[in-house]
Structure 1
Amino acid sequence: MTQPIDAYPARARTPLRSSNLQLTLRAFLDGGTFTVSEVAHRTGLSRPTAQLAVQELASAGWLSTVDATGEGGARTGRPANAYQLRPESGHVLGIDMGAHKALVLVSDLAGNIVAEKRCEVQPSWTFQRRLTQLDETVEAALQDVGLTPDDIESVAIATPGVVDHDSRVTYAPAIPEWEGIDMRTHMREVFGLDAHVYNDMQLAAVAEHWCGAGREASDVVYVHVGRRIGTGLLIGGKPHRGRDGAAGEIGLWRALPWEGAFDELVGEDSADALSEAGQGDAVQRLFERAKLGDAAAAERIDQFTRRLVTGIAPVIVTINPELVIIGGGISAAGEAIRQPIDRRMPGETAFPPRVVCSLLGDRSSAIGAMRMALNRAEEALFDSIDTRTSR
């Protein structure tokens, strides 16, 4: 791990100087390779001030120097140095602990995934067996890239159910024995890591906003459609959790017309749609039959989209989002499911949102967890830049 910035107190630290360091570090956390002049332009700092900030960050080990001309580039006079974030300067874990899988992503601080480990789990497993599998998957992911828990800056975990603001699962009908699970304490005891836990649908929405179908939208409703149907909300580009962490948990609405809807949709393929991969396969088979003229398949699709839109309409009217993202197994149908949902929206509201399908598939919640872990790692980095006027 790199040294804290304060390990290099060559000059008295002032609030303004700390702010300059934060601005400069933020420019590199967003990705890219920049000369001092480019850093000054991106941050609005003067060139001498940018030079000082870059030098201090490089001394602390956060930045590395590269030749700005590039390999084989033309050279006229003394080449300028450029700087980039050192990929090995820190890493985070983004984890999706779902009903059917444990997926662990290891990312550097620039958001590059350097390791990925997945294993299948069963909804019927005891919580002890599920946590044991999670531990083994985390260990395998770290071993793949030669890291230890000491190399990890931050951890975020996505999981089904309602998760309160203390990272405790308070409601989890999709996973037996999962209600009351405290994965934050578990990760601290097993790995010595401080983890934060969130609802998986909320983090899927975060992922789509960051690098998926929702990159240009601030107010988003993510709808996961599979054997489990749920939503995640973004308001102003940030996940909306609500007082108890239950915001967007449509499954808590007792009048919801979704009970058994997915099983009725896939019909005879329902028994095969137990895993997330199986859900996508079952959906594709159904839509292929409808495309070939199977009237019964087409009718099931029509009835399902009607029930789906009826269920999310109250959320759409309340949030007035720019975008609805369809994820989960149903997104395997692509335009064949997007179009009928889109056509029904104007019948529910005078201000229908745009409807798109997820671009991230079943990795969305893990990627969202990775983004939240990166956010917390960045906050910790900025906190390490001492804002006191002197030591």
Structure 2
Amino acid sequence: MADRLTGGDSSLLRRINAAVTLRALRSGNSVTLTQLVGETGLSRPTVEGVIEGLVETGLVAEVEQPREDGQPGPGRRGRPARWFRFRAEAGHILGIEIGVHDIRVILADLTGEVVGSHFKPVDETLEAEDRLSAVRTAVAEVLRKAGISRDNLWAVGIGTPGIVDREGTVQLGTAMPGWTGLDLGARLRRSFRCPVLIENDANLAAIAEHWQGAAVGADDVVFVMAGLSPGAGSLINGRLHRGYGGAAGEIGALHLLGQEVTPERLLSTTGKPLNPLDEAAVARVLRLAREGDEVAKVAMDRFLTRLVQGVAALVLAIDPRLVVIGGWAAGLDGVLEPLRERLAQFTLRAPEVALAALGSEVVAMGALRVALDHVEEQLFAVDPPRI
């Protein structure tokens, strides 16, 4: 991908000039050579040479001069200026969530502008091989609807529950059958001719909320996936904190330290285990608690106590500016105020607490951002290729 920037020229100075020019083009609408000279600080002959190379690679296109009324076509008299634009459609990226109950795929261009999406419900008992097949089907469908070739993909980001190492192997994934030990990266890289990046779902949710959601402008953030066995993703100084083995934020395991009530009995109102994956049953208990049902309120109190223990541990360790709560589609709005109050009791400096803003697409959007980051690293790379 890096050679697309300069047509294969590995000259460091040329690569720097190309990256500077491309960044100026990518940040706005059509611009003239004169404007590019002013924005980049490069000489006109240098910009002309760089633009010529970028046009050859397909990343930049020359366009008609806009008229004074904003329409394309001839404008004022005299020698017309040459106008250029970044071709965001020159490549595409995918963000994919492989969830317990559904597969989500988001397709975007090279600026991150979403151009297509697909949602596919799946059964929680689906075996790993069938789940991967559902992913491939969903990808094929979103590409077909958008009229985009698989060869036009530059990077793919994928989110999954569980502890994922840097190579994309699921070290521990109890939410889905056959997931623990699955080399997800190797399996899915066979389906694409571009880089495939695998990450934990809560980590991606933190990235997404920082990009376009409730955490915009906050660089020290904890995102809590507030299930019965919660997980969390953390950003420190705007960068994802994965931990040495990718297990940072797995606060759902804290109950094991004290052998407390198991996740299955946390929100149970009958004394029988409640399936943590049964979102409808969980939503019902949360609703009953809001309506004043005494048994449900006791269950909700157990849930809040457990959640506060996990979140407080992260807050004390990281001291984030903001804690974003997401995960369940229903019932979480009633959690925020009690959570704020209890965190103030158990932490030295209570953080802001907010509800996630991106809803059910948060993980796929985080995966898209990771793919876009990879593309931008390649587009704006200035180091010469290693020999």
TM-score (norm 2): 0.85
Secondary structure of the 1:206 match is helix
- 2:322 aligned residue: 323
Q: CA deviation at 1:353?
A: 1.1
1:206 and 1:234 in contact (8 A); partners too: yes
Distance 1:99 1:226 in 2: 12
Coordinate RMSD, CA, aligned: 3.3
Match for 2:57 among 57, 60, 82? Answer: 60
SS of 1:233's equivalent in the other structure is strand
Tell me the equivalent position of 2:347. 349
User: How far is the alpha carbon of 1:69 from its aligned partner?
Assistant: 4.4
Structure 1 residues 193 and 55: alpha-carbon distance in aligned structure 2, compared to 1, 3 A threshold: closer
**SS of aligned partner of 2:190:** helix
Tell me what 2:4 maps to: 4
Sequence identity, in percent? 35
1:54-93 matched pairs, under 5 angstroms: 54-66=51-63, 69=66, 72-73=69-70, 76-77=76-77, 80-93=81-94
| Distance verdict in 2 for CA 1:242–1:271, change over 3 Å | closer
Distance in 2 between the 1:185 and 1:56 partners? 35
TM superposition shift of 1:286: 3.6
Give the letter aligned to residue 345 of structure 1. L
1:206, distance to aligned residue in structure 2 (A)? 0.7
Q: What is the CA–CA distance in structure 2 between the aligned matches of 1:27 and 1:186, rounded to whole Å?
A: 38
Number of equivalences? 378
Q: Which residue of 2 aligns with 1:285?
A: 287
Once the two structures are superposed, the pairs formed by residues 145-224 of structure 1 within 5 Å of their partners are 145-224=146-225
In the alignment, is the contact (CA less than 8 A) between 2:155 and 2:374 conserved in 1?
yes
Matching residue within 355, 375, 386 for 2:373: 375
Q: Which runs of 5+ in 1 are unaligned?
A: none
Q: 1:227–1:29: structure 2 CA closer, same or farther, 3 Å change rule?
A: farther
Which amino acid in the other structure matches residue 313 of structure 2? P
| 1:20 and 2:17 correspond | yes
SS in 2 for 1:190: coil
Q: Deviations over 1:135-185 (max 9, x none)?
A: 111111111112222111111111111111111111111112101112222
Unaligned ranges ≥5, structure 2: none
Indicate conservation of the 8 Å contact 1:202/1:232, yes or no.
Answer: yes
Deviation at 1:101, TM superposition (A): 1.2
CA distance in 2, matches of 1:332, 1:37: 55
Counterpart-to-counterpart distance in 2, 1:263 and 1:36:
66
The residue type paired with residue 351 of structure 1 is R
Distance 1:302 1:280 in 2: 14
Distance 1:233 1:51 in 2: 44
State the match for 1:127 in structure 2. 128
Alpha-carbon spacing, 1:305–1:112, altered in 2? closer, same or farther (3 Å): same
* Alignment partners' CA distance in 1, 2:249 and 2:49: 46
Counterpart CA distance in 1 for 2:2 and 2:384 is: 20
